[in-house]
A = this chain, B = another copy of it.
Amino acid sequence: MSAQNPVFIPGPTNMPEALRKACDMPTIDHRSAVFGEILAPCLAGVRRVLKSERAQVFLFPSTGTGGWETAISNTLSPGDKVLAARHGMFSHRWIDLCQRHGLSVQVVEAPWGAGLPADRYAEILAADTAHEIKAVLATHNETATGVRSDIAAVRRTLDAAGHPALLLVDGVSSIASMDFRMDQWGVDVAVTGSQKGFMLPAGLAIVAFSDKAWRATETAKLPRTFFDVRDMGQSYARNGFPYTPPVGLMNGLRLSTEMLLKEGLENVFARHRRIADGVRAAVAAWEMPLCAEGPELWSDTVSAIRTPEGFDATKIVTHAAAKYGVAFGVGLGEVAGKVFRIGHLGSLTDVMMLSGLATAEMAMADLGLPVRLGSGVAAAQEVYRASEAKLEKAAA
């Protein structure tokens, strides 16, 4: 590993200079007015990134996993039934968390590489006329397989069934990188973290609650204190925090949302799309399939690439790290050894991405895979040449 090279893992991402400096803050008194000047724009900024008018945003010194726990423990009670699909490691882990917290999870199994099976959800929800299902879980972007699912479709199934279940969405590796419409999609709880699209260090769970989810906190019986959004909300109302806040990270989030909104969310999404298109062009040139089953599922933040049968895909990752000092992602769970992953989210340029693709080519060639050097790079170069990207100005 070399700290000089960019990382190409699907988070934590490379961090912009300005965000590192915003996080590296001297100690302030978090009970003073200065804290409110950091907190308020964070909450407002995240809300805009989520394309929501009214969602209540909460920030926990935690991670996406803590965000999942926040989502369920504030809205559900022991024994409650939830509907979830398992089609990758991260959807799997959320299911596991629910089960550990005493929920009854109806799991829809789907292939790792498929999207969330909205049609199966539709059947189950339609059949649940007693409305025993209290919440529906959805993983917007399966980081393990590079698959983006259609959250609007999940909302449609709920609406079609006239089902009142809450819609809880894991947007950890999509929010702030790919289009996410909390209000339009009727998302009740959205979960993400600081270390992906927000380009910050890990350490913050970022969770947003709709009005409906907020009302559910009144009856939810799962135990919670650290992750209690009502305590959090009461503290926010007086510019406070229920315990010691991670002020530096929050100052980073304040600036991150400012940078994202200044660039323009659609520009941010287009930038991720362009860089992802280059990666996909390279993968096609290598004649290797993506794990994602079809183009409509392609993630713009991470690509999982299937290597030939009999080849241990993990070797690419360990070799690239050991010989070239570059980090890619290994396959996890069912696709361990079958895929390697290229993260392409956060603070990244076309130029940085080309160095990742060039490295992947060297590693694959070193390991005997039939990849022609320069072939993927050339394909990506064609994509990047075609863009009329506006460059951010260097820090002045």
B100/A223 in contact, CB under 8 A:
yes
Contacts of A354 in B (CB 8 A): 354-355, 358-359, 377
- Indicate whether A160 reaches chain B with its CB closer than 8 angstroms: no
B12 with A30: CB separation less than 8 A: yes
How far in angstroms is the closest Cβ of chain B from A317? Answer: 8
Contact with B along A324-340 (1 / 0, CB 8 A): 11110110000000000
A20 to B27, CA, bound (A): 10
Judged by a CB distance under 8 angstroms, whether A186 is at the interface is no
- Complex: A227 Cα to B101 Cα, angstroms: 12
A321 to B351 Cα, complex, angstroms: 11
Instruction: Please determine whether A63 and B65 come into contact, CB atoms closer than 8 angstroms.
Output: no
What 0/1 readout, one digit per residue, does chain A (209-253) give for beta carbons within 8 Å of chain B?
A: 000000000000011111110000000000000111111110100
CB distance from A6 to the nearest CB of B (A): 8
A322 to chain B, nearest CB (A): 7
Known contacts A1-B391, A97-B225; A26 and B34 CB within 8 A of each other: no
User: A288 on the interface (CB 8 Å rule)?
Assistant: no
Instruction: Please tell me which one of the listed residues B4, B14, B27, B385 contacts residue A352 in the complex, with CB atoms under 8 A apart.
Output: B4
CB distance from A328 to the nearest CB of B (A): 8
Distance in angstroms between the alpha carbons of A101 and B66 in the assembled complex: 17
- Give the Cβ gap from A289 to chain B, nearest Cβ, in Å: 21
CA distance A84 to B38 in the complex (A): 36
Closest beta carbon of chain B to A376's beta carbon, Å: 8
Chain B residue contacts of A249, Cβ below 8 A: 201, 203
- Which residues of chain B are near A53, meaning CB under 8 Å? none
Q: How far is the CB of A139 from chain B (nearest CB, A)?
A: 15
A347 to B4, CA, bound (A): 8
Question: Does A127 make an interface contact (CB < 8 A)?
Answer: no
Report Cα–Cα, A15/B202, bound state, in Å.
Answer: 20
Indicate how many identical chains form the complex. 4
Kindly provide the distance from the CB of A71 to the nearest chain B CB, expressed in whole angstroms.
Answer: 12
> CB-CB < 8 A to A389: which residues of B?
323
Would you call A20 and B24 a contact (CB within 8 A)?
yes
Q: Does A130 contact B (CB under 8 A)?
A: no
**A225 and B69 contacting across the interface, CB-CB below 8 Å:** yes
Closest to A248 in B: B201
Q: Give CA–CA (A394, B35) in the complex, Å.
A: 10
Query: Given contacts A3-B17, A25-B395, could you give 11 more A-B pairs where the C-beta distance is less than 8 Å?
Result: A2-B351, A5-B352, A9-B29, A11-B244, A31-B330, A32-B394, A63-B243, A64-B243, A202-B246, A365-B381, A374-B381
20 pairs, A vs B, C-beta closer than 8 Å: A3-B28, A3-B392, A7-B29, A9-B31, A20-B26, A21-B21, A23-B24, A27-B201, A30-B202, A62-B226, A63-B226, A66-B226, A201-B246, A325-B392, A325-B394, A351-B359, A362-B381, A373-B381, A373-B382, A374-B378
